[in-house]
């Protein structure tokens, strides 16, 4: 049983943020999956801090200087390190953390200021699809170059930009009232 506190203790107010609150469930479930992947790979690889890139040799170690004094970088070594499953998993997890909280916060601002149920549901649904595409059909594909990476990136930026603009538009009268 829940205790009603804050603004929600007044019967006429009803539930606060039902749309953003409902989307917290699938976003948290996907966050937990991304986190579990990182944890599993850390245990498997016995890399408990950092990722495969930061725990490998430094970039200087993969570079050489030839007889002509020119500095050459071992791009094959970089390619291998940046496509290590732990590196991909930590970047997938971190990228989610870098983008989703802001989008959910913007959605909450819009919802608190009377945002449309349909607009918010479509936006957050689109964001969830974009985040899943970004990882599952982008970063986790060979070379981390699957179609989902581009679609997920632009989808995330589009939804976040829309939510920021929408939240601002909903409160425009506050700023322009006479």
Q: Of the candidates 161, 99, 86, which has an alpha carbon nearest to the alpha carbon of residue 131?
A: 99
Dihedral (CA of 14, 16, 20, 23) sign: negative
Structural domain boundaries, residue 97: 18-170
- Pair 34, 89: CB distance under 8 Å: yes
- Residue 111 confidence (pLDDT): 97
Q: Where does the pLDDT of residue 57 fall: very low under 50, low under 70, confident under 90, or very high at 90 and above?
A: very low
Neighbours of 6 (CB within 10 A): 8
> Total structural domains in the chain?
1
Neighbours of 125 (CB within 10 A): 13
What distance in Å separates the CA atoms of residue 82 and residue 74, rounded to the nearest whole number?
13
pLDDT digits (tens, 9 = 90+) for 14-42: 789 999 999 999 999 999 999 999 888 87
Do the domain assignments include residue 3? no
Do the domain assignments include residue 5? no
Do the domain assignments include residue 6? no
Q: CATH number, domain at 23?
A: 1.20.120.550
Helix (H, G, I), strand (E, B) or coil at 71: strand
Name the pTM for this structure: 0.76
Q: How many residues in total does the chain contain?
A: 178
Q: Where does the pLDDT of residue 60 fall: very low under 50, low under 70, confident under 90, or very high at 90 and above?
A: very low
Which helix (H) or strand (E) segment is 29 a member of?
Answer: helix 18-45
Do the domain assignments include residue 124? yes
Where does the chain show beta strands of DSSP type E? Answer: 63-65, 71-73
Q: Of the candidates 112, 156, 106, 111, which has an alpha carbon nearest to the alpha carbon of residue 130?
A: 156
């Amino acid at each position: 049983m829940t205790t009603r506190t804050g603004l929600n203790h007044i019967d006429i107010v009803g539930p606060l943020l039902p749309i953003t609150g409902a989307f917290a469930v699938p976003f948290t479930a996907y966050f937990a999956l991304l986190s579990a992947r990182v944890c599993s790979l850390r245990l498997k690889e016995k890399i408990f801090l950092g990722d495969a890139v930061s725990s490998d040799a430094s970039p200087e170690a993969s570079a050489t200087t030839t007889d002509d004094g020119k500095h050459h970088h071992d791009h094959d070594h970089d390619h291998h390190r940046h496509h290590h499953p732990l590196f991909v998993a930590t970047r997938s997890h971190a990228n989610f953390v870098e983008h989703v909280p802001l989008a959910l916060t913007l959605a909450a601002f819009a919802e608190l200021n009377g945002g449309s149920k349909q607009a918010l549901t479509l936006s957050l649904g689109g964001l969830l699809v974009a985040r899943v595409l970004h990882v599952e059909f982008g970063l986790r594909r060979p070379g981390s170059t699957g179609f989902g990476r581009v679609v997920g990136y632009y989808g995330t930026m589009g939804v976040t930009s829309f939510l920021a603009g929408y939240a601002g538009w909903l409160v425009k009268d506050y700023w322009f009232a006479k």
